Chain A
Amino acid sequence: MAVLSTSALNANHGVIEVRYDDVDRAYSVQRDLRLLGFALFLLSDIVLFSMFIFAYLYLRNSVPLWPPVNSLGHQLPRFDLAFATMNSVVLFGSGVTMHFALEAWKRVERSAFFAWLFATIVLGVCFLLGQAYEYHSIAITWAGSTMGATFFTLTGMHGLHVFVGVVYLAILGIQASRGVYTPAKYFGLTAGTLYWHFVDVIWVALFFLFYLM
């Protein structure tokens, strides 16, 4: 037994941690690894956004006037705060529904889980459509100015993350319906929820930087 062969350790070094709460230890070890791995992945993603945010602030501070002046001498328009606020509410709402979805899963309420997950996906798609509308109606272009460059690159990267998230949640829904997850083993759903909240948090920063600042 493991207990016997390592009892010397326990005697010498005191700290003993026995974990009985996880019935399936192989699973709980895997879950621990994946949770840390996923958290580190999100951390690296934060760095990616931070670098572009740094570029935005740097370029913004290198000109006297913001929004900057184009080659014809006209100042570019500000972004539409009202529409973006509406779209943000949609995205944050999807964060709330995702939270309820995971909670429903933990309480073994399958139909509630699928309803909340579906609502999350619908809201995510609405946000993307809203963003597409905003891109379409906006007067500035990607290559036209540093304002356009940073705006379209950052919100585009974020939109790509939302798109990946929508696909990801859909896959999770299919897996859940096929019985991949159980009430005790649902790390995939936890990761999906984390990712979705992460995308929300990034949007908070972008909303502040482009629409409020």
Chain B
Amino acid sequence: MAVSAIGYGQQTFDQEHDHIHPEPDSFIRKYVFSIDHKIIGFQYMITGFLFFVIAGLLAEVIRIQLLTPAGAILKPEVYNGVYTLHGTAMVWMVIIPLVTGGFGNFVMPLQIGARDVAFPWLNMVSFWIFPVSGMLLFASVLVGAPDAGWTEYAPISVQGPPGTNLWCAAIFLIGISSTMTGLNFMVTIAKMRAPGMTWTRMPLFTWATFATALINMVATVALSAALAALFIERVFGVPFFDPAHGGSPILWQHMFWFYSHPAVYIMILPAFGIISEVLPTFARKPIFGYKMIAFSSLSIAILGFAVWAHHMFTSGLAPWLQLPFMLITMVIGIPTGIKIFSWMATLWGGKIHFSPAMLFAVGFLLTFSFGGVTGVFLASVPADLHEHGTYFVVAHFHYVLFGGSVFGIFSGMYYWWPKMTGRLMNEALGKWHFWTTFIGFNGTFLPMHWLGLYGMPRRYASYPAFAALYPQAQFWNDVASGFSFLMASSTLLFFANMLWSFKYGKPAGKNPWGARTLEWMIASPPPYYNFKHIPAVLDNPYYFDKPLPYRNLEDEDTPLEKPVDKPASHRTGAHA
């Protein structure tokens, strides 16, 4: 038997051994403990948005509290728990699972022309850890919610209420899940691309997912180490961080930020990937600087490991260390700037269609760039000494996390929703959603910049001293709170749009946007096996002026005659 395969390096493919595996027929295997990457992607999204609602409501509690300088509704100790859970949940239970587990799982295997991820069973385990850890996190409320902020700085965290143990366990578990997802995605992207899809023909979302998986793999374990140390210090009294017993609280900051700075790139790189797909599609132009965008993702991922101490400029870090951390942090602005300018050049002269996905992508460009600029302020040591621990920092990271990651998530949801469900969303409702979110978001977080510069400290349950110092303090806090209510209600429009789409949405067809990456070449929603024939790839997908660079797609529309082969490989796991 002639066994042959063409390949570029490792991507080899061979139709003789290409199997389409049977779809499971029980409800449990199909929708609950599924090993299908698309279902797992859905599960991540549903769970992630559920936590998004909870963590968002906690944010509204914070904004209500700050309506008056004395603190409107909560006692300070309760308030501490509220902002800690808000931050923790938003980072680990919402944004990271949505951008890696959600979009990464649903979109990436489709984009590289694969039938599934490399280790589907591991993928299922990764997902099921997520709701468990989320429930552990919120169960901490019952025994005394963690109250040291999402960073849980020692020694406060060492002395914190019992819920802090649950916090450690929850984040440890989600960290394990995140590491396994990273491992899975790295192997998938490195080894399972369709024949002909070289690294420089990979779609940009896949590139971003690869860079993210690299960080997930390496950095998240560092977080696990830090959490394990904190946990055994709290439970067994083993001194790591408590200075009363010879430990060092600064050590916690090093260990925590060695993960948590790369983690901000875990949250933003997939959003970069989403934007890189949406902009060329709705501008009908090839992406500008394909290779530069791809490689800048990787360089951001790598540089991101060398900047963690910029969170610690006020911790007594030696001056000779502050300077390199400041400079490398600013250097990260270069690959990021390359992306921003490439995206702007992509838009330049394009035939732009402002669909909701495109609106969020363009909104992303504005708000994320703004957050990037304030990031350079914070990277600069002299400025940071003044801004550290104020609302300026809060404003900065909400501009990059909400105005960046969450705008990216919304853009991706509008973009891939037809692919996921086979139905279109309501464009008008989507535009309303964008404008209310955009206005609500800027109204909430823009005033925080000057509140912070005037000296309003973050994490305080009340601000009478600051209000005495700065007479407009309450006015601007009320403005922020008012707009935050608008932003929160705008999310209802998004959920309404989903429901509308299920009931009234027009069938989307294969490719409603005229996009060119592989996931749009197959039916919506994609069949269980994704591709009847694994396509061959001739070029990167973004040349809108050329014919599609794929082969082997021709007879996708004819029904599958013999859909099922004996499972022979990873679906059941050939042993050894």
Contacts and interface: CB of A to CB of B under 8 A. Distances in A.
A33 B12 contact: no
Interface string B171-197: 000000001000110110011100110
A188 B569 contact: no
Interface in A1-49: 1-3, 5-6, 8-10, 12-13, 15-20, 25-27, 29-30, 32-33, 36-37, 40-41, 43-45, 47-48
A146 interface: yes
Contacts of B570: 30, 33
A143 B551 contact: no
A19 B196 CA distance: 16
Interface in A114-147: 142-143, 145-146
Nearest to A2: B15
Most buried by B among A8, A32, A40, A143: A40
Contacts, number: 171
Nearest to B537: A9
B240 A6 contact: no
Nearest to A148: B238
9 contacts: A1-B2, A9-B196, A10-B6, A29-B17, A37-B183, A44-B217, A55-B251, A58-B254, A142-B236
A168 interface: no
A142 B237 CA distance: 9
B222 interface: yes
B187 A33 contact: yes
Contacts of B5: 2, 17-19, 25
Contacts of B575: 180, 188
Nearest to B219: A47
Contacts of B119: 33, 37
B74 to A, nearest CB: 36
Given A6-B196, A149-B247, 11 more contacts: A1-B15, A2-B13, A15-B9, A25-B3, A26-B568, A37-B184, A44-B183, A44-B221, A48-B225, A143-B238, A145-B246
Interface of B: 2-10, 12-17, 19, 118-119, 179, 183-184, 186-187, 190-192, 195-196, 217-222, 224-226, 229, 232, 236-240, 245-248, 251, 254-255, 258, 536, 538, 551-552, 568-570, 574-576
Contacts of A43: 217-218
B248 A29 contact: no
Contacts of B9: 15, 17
B574 A26 contact: yes
How would you classify the secondary structure of chain A's contact residues: helix, strand, loop or mixed? helix
Contacts of B225: 47-48, 51-52, 55
A145 B476 CA distance: 49
Contacts of A50: 222
A29 B569 contact: yes
A18 B12 CA distance: 9
A44 B118 contact: no
Contacts of A47: 218-219, 221-222, 225
Nearest to A45: B221
Contacts of A51: 221-222, 225-226, 255, 258
Given A9-B551, A55-B255, A181 B195 contact: no
B347 to A, nearest CB: 31
A211 interface: no
B118 A33 contact: yes
Contacts of B236: 142-143
Nearest to A147: B246
A17 B7 contact: yes
A153 interface: yes
B251 A59 contact: yes
B247 A146 contact: yes
A213 interface: no
Given A6-B551, A44-B179, A180-B575, A30 B569 contact: yes
A212 interface: no
A59 B190 contact: no
Interface residues of A, number: 57
Interface in A179-208: 180-181, 185-188
A63 interface: yes
A120 B246 CA distance: 40
Contacts of A187: 576
Nearest to A146: B246
Given A5-B552, A186-B576, A32 B10 contact: yes
Given A25-B5, A30-B574, A59 B248 contact: yes
Contact of A29 (B12, B221, B536, B551): B12
A54 interface: yes
Given A6-B536, A6-B551, A153-B232, A58 B14 contact: no
B576 A26 contact: no
B502 to A, nearest CB: 37
Contact of B574 (A27, A145, A153): A27
A5 B14 CA distance: 11
A95 interface: no
Contacts of A33: 118-119, 187, 191-192, 570
A68 interface: yes
B229 A13 contact: no
B123 to A, nearest CB: 12
A19 B246 CA distance: 59
A6 B6 contact: yes
A148 B237 CA distance: 12
A68 B246 CA distance: 9
Contact of A13 (B12, B196, B568, B569): B196
A55 B576 contact: no
Contacts of A186: 576
B187 A37 contact: yes
Interface pairs A-B: 3 shortest CB-CB: A51-B225, A47-B221, A2-B15
B247 A36 contact: no
Given A1-B15, A25-B16, A145 B239 contact: yes
Nearest to A44: B221
A8 B574 CA distance: 33
A149 B240 contact: yes
Contacts of B217: 40, 43-44
A85 to B, nearest CB: 27
Contact of B247 (A10, A48, A59): A59
Nearest to A18: B4
B15 A58 contact: no
Given A2-B15, A180-B575, A40 B246 contact: no
Nearest to B18: A2
A12 B539 CA distance: 11
Nearest to A29: B569
A143 B237 contact: yes
